[in-house]
C-alpha cells in the first residue's frame, strides 16, 4: 500500500513485546469517543484472535451510549465506576497500549496508575506532539484516526488474518466517527482501501452509521435546535461562531454522555464560517470544543486554554465562569490570524 510507511524496526520490537506479554492492558483518553473506543476494542479483539487471552480495555469515564453497539463495549472497564478493577488491571499488565492520546494527563484519574506502571508503554495515536514517556511510539498525525493506524500496524505485524468481524466493526466505528463519515480528515485514497478490508471482514458500514449517528434521543435533538436558534452567535467579519451551554441548560435537555458530541460542527454548515467554539459548563470547569474547516488551525486557539488537538478539531479547559471563558475567547479571536499559523499546524 502506497502512502504512509510504518518504520519496520519498532514494528519488529512490538511484535516481540506482544509475543512475550502475558497480560495486556489498553487504555484510552477521558471523554471516550468513537475512535478511542473503537481502536481499543478492535485491537484487543485482534490480539485475542492471535491467542492473547488476558486483555483488559480501560477507559477513565463512561462510554457514550451510542458506542455500546460495538461488540465488546460492555466488557470495557470504566475507572469512574470501577476504580479498583481498572487500577488492578493496569497494575498487573506487563504490556500497556496507550490508545488515541498523546500525554498521560489525557487519562485523567488514571494518570498516576499509568505513570507508576513498570510495564512497557506503547503509544498508538494520531495527535500532534506526543510526550516522550513511551517505550515505543507509533504517532502518525496525518492519518484519519487511531483506528486506521491500528489496522495499518496490524498488517505490518502480519496480523491481517486476526481481523475478525467484531474487530472490523470496532475499527470501522472509529474511522467513521473520527472522519464524520468521510466528510473530513479522509483525503488519503489509501484509507478507502483499508475500509474495503474492514467491509470484507464483515463490518456493516450502513448499520454502524445508523447505530452511531441516527439513534439520537429526543433531548439531544431538541438541544440541537435550541443551540442553533437561541444560543449560536455568529461573527461573520472573522468567519467564526460560538455558543455556550450552562449546567442548567444541559439538565433541561436531559443531557447524557455523548449528547453534546457533534454540536460544535453544526455552525460550520453556514457559508463563510470557518471555525466554531462550543463552551460547556462542566462540574468544576468550562470545557471548550473547537472545530474548523480548511486551513484554520483551532489547535493553536486551544493552546490558550491548556489544550490542543488537531488543526480542525481541538479542545481546552477554563477555570472560571462561562462569561469569563467567553470573554477570554473573544479577546483571543480578535487578535488571531489563522494564516500566521498554517505552516506549523498541518494536521
Q: Phi/psi of residue 308, each to 5°?
A: 170, -160
Start-end of CATH 3.90.1640.10 domains in the chain: 8-213
Q: What is the pLDDT, as a whole number, of residue 4? A: 82
pTM (predicted TM-score): 0.91
Other C-beta atoms closer than 10 Å to the C-beta of 250 total 18
Instruction: Provide the terminal-to-terminal Cα distance of the chain, rounded to the nearest Å.
Output: 21
By the 8 A CB rule, do 134 and 114 touch? Answer: no
Q: What is the pLDDT, as a whole number, of residue 3? A: 67
Q: What is the per-residue burial (b if ≥16 Cβ within 10 Å, else e) of 52-82?
A: beebbbbbbbbbbebbeebbbbeebbbbeee
Give the CA-trace dihedral at 181, 108, 65, 83, to 10 degrees: 150
Residues in the chain: 347
Gap between the Cα atoms of 105 and 112, Å rounded: 9
Helix (H) or strand (E) segment spanning residue 243: strand 240-245
Q: In CATH, which superfamily holds the domain spanning 8-213?
A: inorganic pyrophosphatase (n-terminal core) (3.90.1640.10)
Pairing of strands 313-318, 308-309: antiparallel
Helix (H) or strand (E) segment spanning residue 113: helix 111-116
Q: What is the pLDDT, as a whole number, of residue 195? A: 98
Angle at 258 between CA 255 and CA 264, to 5 degrees: 95
Query: Per-block average pLDDT, block size 10, for the chain (347 residues)?
Result: 80 98 98 97 99 98 96 98 98 99 95 97 95 96 97 98 99 97 91 98 98 94 98 97 98 94 96 98 95 94 92 94 98 90 54
Beta strands in 83-217 (DSSP E): 95-99, 121-125, 136-139
Eight-state DSSP code of residue 247: H
CATH fit for domain 218-340, picks 3.40.50.2300, 3.50.30.30, 3.40.640.10, 3.10.310.30: 3.10.310.30
Which among 273, 287, 290, 288 has a CA at the least distance from the CA of 233? 273
Which among 199, 195, 193, 201 has a CA at the least distance from the CA of 165? 201
Start-end of CATH 3.10.310.30 domains in the chain: 218-340
For the chain, give the percent of residues with pLDDT over 70.
Answer: 97
Give the CA-trace dihedral at 320, 300, 255, 77, to 10 degrees: -100
Gap between the Cα atoms of 162 and 50, Å rounded: 6
Amino acid at each position: 500500500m502506497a502512502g504512509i510507511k510504518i518504520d519496520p524496526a519498532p514494528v519488529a520490537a512490538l511484535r516481540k513485546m506482544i509475543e512475550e506479554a502475558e497480560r495486556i492492558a489498553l487504555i484510552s483518553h477521558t471523554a471516550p469517543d468513537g475512535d478511542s473506543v473503537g481502536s481499543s476494542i478492535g485491537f484487543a479483539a485482534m490480539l485475542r484472535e492471535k491467542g492473547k487471552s488476558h486483555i483488559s480495555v480501560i477507559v477513565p469515564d463512561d462510554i457514550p451510549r451510542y458506542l455500546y453497539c460495538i461488540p465488546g463495549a460492555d466488557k470495557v472497564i470504566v475507572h469512574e465506576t470501577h476504580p479498583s478493577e481498572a487500577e488492578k488491571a493496569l497494575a498487573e499488565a506487563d504490556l500497556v497500549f496507550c490508545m488515541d492520546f498523546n500525554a498521560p494527563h489525557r487519562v485523567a484519574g488514571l494518570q498516576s496508575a499509568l505513570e507508576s506502571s513498570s510495564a512497557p508503554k506503547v503509544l498508538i495515536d494520531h495527535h500532534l506532539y506526543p510526550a516522550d514517556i513511551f517505550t515505543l511510539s507509533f504517532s502518525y498525525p496525518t492519518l484519519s484516526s487511531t483506528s486506521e493506524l491500528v489496522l495499518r500496524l496490524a498488517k505490518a505485524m502480519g496480523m491481517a488474518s486476526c481481523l475478525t468481524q467484531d474487530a472490523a466493526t470496532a475499527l470501522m466505528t472509529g474511522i467513521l466517527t473520527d472522519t464524520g463519515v468521510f466528510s473530513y480528515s479522509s483525503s488519503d485514497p489509501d484509507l478507502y482501501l483499508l475500509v474495503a478490508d474492514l467491509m470484507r471482514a464483515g463490518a456493516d458500514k450502513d448499520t454502524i452509521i445508523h447505530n452511531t449517528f441516527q439513534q439520537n434521543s429526543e433531548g439531544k435533538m431538541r438541544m440541537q435546535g435550541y443551540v442553533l436558534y437561541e444560543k449560536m452567535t455568529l461573527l461573520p467579519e472573522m468567519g467564526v461562531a460560538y455558543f455556550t451551554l450552562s449546567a442548567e441548560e444541559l439538565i433541561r435537555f436531559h443531557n447524557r454522555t455523548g449528547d453534546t458530541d457533534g454540536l460544535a460542527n453544526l455552525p460550520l454548515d453556514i457559508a463563510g464560517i470557518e471555525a466554531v467554539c462550543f463552551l460547556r459548563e462542566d462540574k468544576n470547569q468550562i470545557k471548550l470544543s473547537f472545530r474548523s474547516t480548511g486551513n484554520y488551525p483551532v489547535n493553536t486557539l486551544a493552546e490558550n486554554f491548556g489544550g490542543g488537538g488537531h488543526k480542525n478539531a481541538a479542545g481546552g479547559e477554563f477555570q472560571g465562569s462561562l462569561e469569563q471563558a467567553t470573554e477570554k475567547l473573544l479577546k483571543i479571536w480578535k487578535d488571531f490570524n489563522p494564516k500566521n499559523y498554517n505552516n506549523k499546524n498541518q494536521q
